[in-house]
Amino acid sequence: MDILDRLGLEHPLVQAGLGGGLATADLAAAVSGAGALGTIGIRSPKGLVKEMQRAHQLAPGKPFAVNLLMPFTLPQHVSACIAGKPRVVSLFFGFDAAMVAQFRAAGIFVLHQVGTVGEARRAFADGADGIIAQGREAGGHLLGIEPALDFLPKALEVAQGKPVFVAGGIATAADVQAALKAGAAGAAAGTRFLLTDECRAHPAYKSVVLGATQTIETELFGLGWPARHRVVPNAATKRWCARDARGPWLVRKVHQLSTVMSKYMPIDAGALTTPRQRLWLPLYGPTAPLVGHPPSVLDVAPLYAGETARSIRSVVPAAEAVRLLTTRS
């Protein structure tokens, strides 16, 4: 069966699961209502239940996905998804074959985002229905180590006919068409959907991304989640990443020791703790600036964006973003 028919989509396009409160039901439902696959980012289990209910209400009968960040995923998240009935669950940054089996037994299609051939093999060995092949040019947290279209042929070889979506470098309809021409089942876009009316990113954060001429890979915003991520430079990166883009050695070591926090600190807590971060103390968490945060947060929080930020010049409704990504010129 064609992947569009299997998932109930009009367009081979997935909205990335922007976590930390950026992608709620408002964004996911708007994307799904326009014929692509909208995605709700991970929340607390109770919060996730509410967002899935809202997505069903806002876009009745339309498919949507839930993105689960594996370092923060609890058994309650799994139960919530099975009860909430998203068409797709997307897994990122970790593996759990038993979890995949639970989702598939419940009739939920499992996509697993990967960045290397080894991770692609592991995802399919765990039972994933398909993968998202992430390129290094993507925004947010990174598994990719090479450009997306260089990684794609390797991922397709591992997939042996199962669907492979491409993430990284997707900002226009031409980018989507290039991915399809190269053999992908579809494309996943993050920065383009970050820059939409429905995304809950702080308006000043969106403005900074719109004007960005550069992004960097760093590990500076790694308290609780020590992993590479791509951001637009801000005051924190200028102060602490001048000698090493990854951030100071001691800070990175503290971040590595902080991983225990991920299972004990509520996933939504970052929305409350981020405004308390200070420029002089480089212990920064992974939550991006949200609507309602003071503008000062932009100096000390991660401004996630992919390399495509340099080619996007407007904030638009999510349905218009889908149109821009799927309408050939």
Query: Does one domain contain both 196 and 226?
Result: no
Q: What is the mean pLDDT of residues 180-202?
A: 98
Query: Does one domain contain both 196 and 223?
Result: no
Query: Is residue 240 in a domain?
Result: yes
Q: Report the percent of the chain where pLDDT is more than 90.
A: 94
Query: Does one domain contain both 248 and 225?
Result: yes
Query: Is residue 146 in a domain?
Result: yes
Residue 38 exposed, middle or buried by CB count within 10 Å (0-12, 13-18, 19+): buried
Query: Does one domain contain both 14 and 163?
Result: yes
Query: Does one domain contain both 148 and 257?
Result: no
Query: Is residue 127 in a domain?
Result: yes
Do 277 and 293 touch, CB atoms closer than 8 A? no
Give the C-alpha separation, 27 to 317, whole Å.
Answer: 9
Q: What is the mean pLDDT of residues 210-226?
A: 96
Query: Does one domain contain both 156 and 263?
Result: no
Give the C-alpha separation, 97 to 113, whole Å.
Answer: 14
Query: Does one domain contain both 7 and 81?
Result: yes
Query: Does one domain contain both 12 and 96?
Result: yes
Query: Does one domain contain both 108 and 174?
Result: yes
Q: What is the mean pLDDT of residues 239-262?
A: 92
Residue closest to 323 by CA, chosen among 193, 134, 199: 193
Q: What is the mean pLDDT of residues 19-37?
A: 97
| CATH number for 23 | 3.20.20.70
Q: What is the mean pLDDT of residues 189-201?
A: 98
Report pLDDT for 38. 98
- Residue 196: which domain range? 3-200+313-326
Question: 71-81 pLDDT, tens per residue?
Answer: 999 999 999 99
Ramachandran angles phi, psi of 119, nearest 5°? -70, -35
Question: 295-322 pLDDT, tens per residue?
Answer: 999 999 999 999 999 999 999 999 999 9
Please write down the long-range contacts of 57-60, taking CB distance under 8 Å and 24 or more positions apart.
58/25, 58/26, 58/29, 58/30, 58/33, 59/28, 59/29, 59/30, 59/32, 59/33
Per the structure, how many domains does the chain have?
Answer: 2
- Helix, strand, coil percentages in the chain from 3-state DSSP, rounded to 5: 45, 15, 40
Q: What is the mean pLDDT of residues 170-183?
A: 98
Question: 119-159 pLDDT, tens per residue?
Answer: 999 999 999 999 999 999 999 999 999 999 999 999 999 99
Q: What is the mean pLDDT of residues 220-230?
A: 96
Query: Does one domain contain both 224 and 291?
Result: yes
Q: Which helix (H) or strand (E) holds 25?
A: helix 25-33
Query: Is residue 131 in a domain?
Result: yes
Do 282 and 240 touch, CB atoms closer than 8 A? yes
Query: Is residue 237 in a domain?
Result: yes
Query: Is residue 234 in a domain?
Result: yes
Average pLDDT, the chain: 96
- Type of residue found at 262: S
Query: Does one domain contain both 126 and 256?
Result: no
